[in-house]
Amino acid sequence: MSNIITMIAPVNIAVIKYWGKRNEELILPLNDSVSVTLNANVMCAKTTVCVSPNFLEDEIWLNGAKESFTNQRLQNCLKEIKSRAAVERSVDDIFLTWKVHICSENNFPTAAGLASSAAGYACLVSALAKAYKIKSDVSSIARLGSGSACRSVYGGFVRWHAGVESDGSDSIAVQIANKSHWPEMSALILVVGDTQKKISSSKGMKLSVETSDLFQFRVQNCVPKRVEEICKAITTKDFVKFAEITMKDSNQFHAICLDSYPPITYMTDTSYKIIEMIHKYNNIHPKIKIAYTFDAGPNACLYLLEEEVPKILSLIQHIFPTSTPDKFITGLPIQHEKIDTDLIKIFSQPHQKDLLKYVIHTKIGDGPTEVIDGSHLLNECGWPTNLH
Ligand SMILES: Nc1ncnc2c1ncn2[C@@H]1O[C@H](COP(=O)(O)OP(=O)(O)OP(=O)(O)O)[C@@H](O)[C@H]1O
Ligand SMILES: C[C@@](O)(CCOP(=O)(O)OP(=O)(O)O)CC(=O)O
């Protein structure tokens, strides 16, 4: 007797960044954060879990390779799932003694600052929750895997409340609005680099808490006001306000990285060229049209309304020429608009080729969903179907 569940889960990109913990083990943040969940049909983690009396030990495979199950965060997630199941009496006691096999893969680069840990842990925890028939909110369990993962448990626009309790019971994610609230909202991920970053978010934020003087100022004086304002901008669909706060918060997060000692630099020259392009584009319009935000890496996430997508994409193709035009734009289909020559005149000469690797076009999406077409990553005996 076994129990095989497969789920897919989305990435989320924060517009108010989570940076800094008040408890390292429970992954409790020092500030609230707000994010947008992106369409899981474009970028996702896919995870199959299987619980069986036939397994001798808990095992995990990630992106086609076996990983160690001794990872503390992984252990904490499984432990919490089992204790929730015990409290909810959702499965038989014997089921709780069986071992689990987990197989997961991301359809985009892992550990490159593209929120793979968010999608990955949201997926893992949602799949386990389904297998153990847990009914209550699992965002606080996903949080134990990676802080930002708690926001990927919900679709649309999401706020992670930092909470004040020392056991983390009130540090949960809550949906502000679902994806249908603002269907025109689109995102372009500009991939500058897809290699693993040098300093993980966990290490980077610890260093900032310990060494940055600006950090306390941000947490106490800036974030609380920004969170209220951006939540209001989301509920009233005020794009200009949403975009302005998003850009300012990304810039402040990277200023804090630079104020850490020794300094942390996630953005590159190409990232700054993207920022320059977006401000120039916004300045030639009466109102802000596009927002950028950068996580712990050089890649940009642009938030914009649907009508702006073809225009900025043709401009990006002009300014950031590529030697692989067929593979340059991926994700959701777009209608190409011929670049407007007046727009080109305002912009400088194109940069050198291949500063951008590729662009992912996507939109807002739902939270984790179960895959019901039978395309499990583990076979009926609970072993990976495809190992590298
Ligand atoms: N599908 C997955 N299933 C389980 N764990 C995953 C999955 N994808 C990523 N992870 C875990 O997350 C780690 C990468 O997290 P990290 O924070 O370094 O990168 P990132 O999430 O891509 O970047 P960022 O959080 O800055 O956007 C991996 O080493 C792995 O432990
Ligand atoms: C810059 C960020 O993406 C940082 C994400 O940090 P993680 O959630 O990856 O960190 P841990 O909780 O230590 O796993 C900002 C954000 O997503 O809010």
Domain span at residue 84? 3-178
Structure confidence at residue 2 as a pLDDT band (50, 70, 90): low
- For residue 117, give the ligand nearest its CA: 1
- Closest atom of ligand 2 relative to the 12 alpha carbon: 17
Which residue among 108, 116, 360 has the greatest number of ligand 1 atoms within 8 angstroms of its CB, and so is best to mutate? 116
Interval 275-285 mean pLDDT: 96
Q: Is the CB of 12 under 6 A from ligand 1?
A: no
Q: What is the pLDDT of residue 164?
A: 97
Q: What global pTM score does this model have?
A: 0.96
- Probe target for ligand 1 pocket from 19, 106, 117, with the most ligand atoms within 8 Å of CB: 117
pLDDT digits (tens, 9 = 90+) for 169-186: 999 999 999 999 999 999
In the chain, pLDDT over 90 holds for what percent of residues?
90
CB 183 within 8 A of CB 156: no
3-state secondary structure of 197: coil
Work out the mean pLDDT of the chain and round it to a whole number.
95
Q: Does any domain span residue 30?
A: yes
Task: Name the domain count of the chain.
Answer: 2
Residues in the chain: 388
Q: What is the pLDDT of residues 185-197, one digit of tens each?
A: 999 999 998 777 7
What would the pLDDT profile of 83-128 be if each residue is shown by its tens digit? 999 999 999 999 999 999 999 999 988 877 788 999 999 999 999 9
The CB of 63 under 6 Å from ligand 2? The reply is: no
Mark whether 145 and 64 lie in a shared domain: yes
Residue 380 lies in a domain: no
Closest ligand 2 atom, residue 147 Cα: 12
Best substitution site from 47, 110, 148, 201 to test ligand 1's pocket, by max atoms within 8 Å of Cβ? 110
pLDDT in tens, 310-360: 999 999 999 999 999 999 999 999 877 777 778 888 887 899 999 999 999
Residue 377 lies in a domain: no
Give CA–CA dist 365/40, Å, rounded: 6
Provide the angle, in degrees to the nearest 10, between the axes of the packed helices 201-211 and 239-259: 70
The ipTM assigned to this model is 0.95
Assess whether pLDDT exceeds 70 at residue 210.
yes
On the 0-12 / 13-18 / 19+ scale of CB atoms within 10 A, 248 is middle
Sort 56 into a burial class: Cβ within 10 Å, 0-12 / 13-18 / 19+. Answer: exposed
H-state helical runs in the chain: 72-88, 116-131, 139-145, 201-211, 213-217, 223-235, 239-259, 269-283, 309-319, 325-328, 341-346
- pLDDT digits over 370-387, tens only? 999 999 999 999 999 987
**Ligand 2: residue whose CA is nearest its atom 13:** 202
Same domain, 158 and 56: yes
| Residue 368 falls inside a structural domain | no
CA 135 to chain centre: 24
Q: Does the C-beta of 168 come closer than 6 Å to ligand 2?
A: no
CA of 92 to the centre of ligand 1 (A): 32
Question: How far apart are the C-alpha atoms of 190 and 250, rounded to whole Å?
Answer: 15
Q: What residues contact 43, with CB distance under 8 A and at least 6 apart? A: 10, 11, 107, 108, 114, 119, 189, 331, 360, 362
Are 122 and 258 in a shared domain? Answer: no
For residues 258 and 254, give the distance between their C-alpha atoms in angstroms, rounded to a whole number: 6
329 plus 246 within the same structural domain = yes
Tens digits of residue pLDDT in 312-325: 999 999 999 999 99
Measured N-to-C along each axis, helices 223-235 and 239-259 cross at an angle, to the nearest 10 degrees, of: 150
Instruction: For residue 329, give the CATH number of its domain.
Output: 3.30.70.890
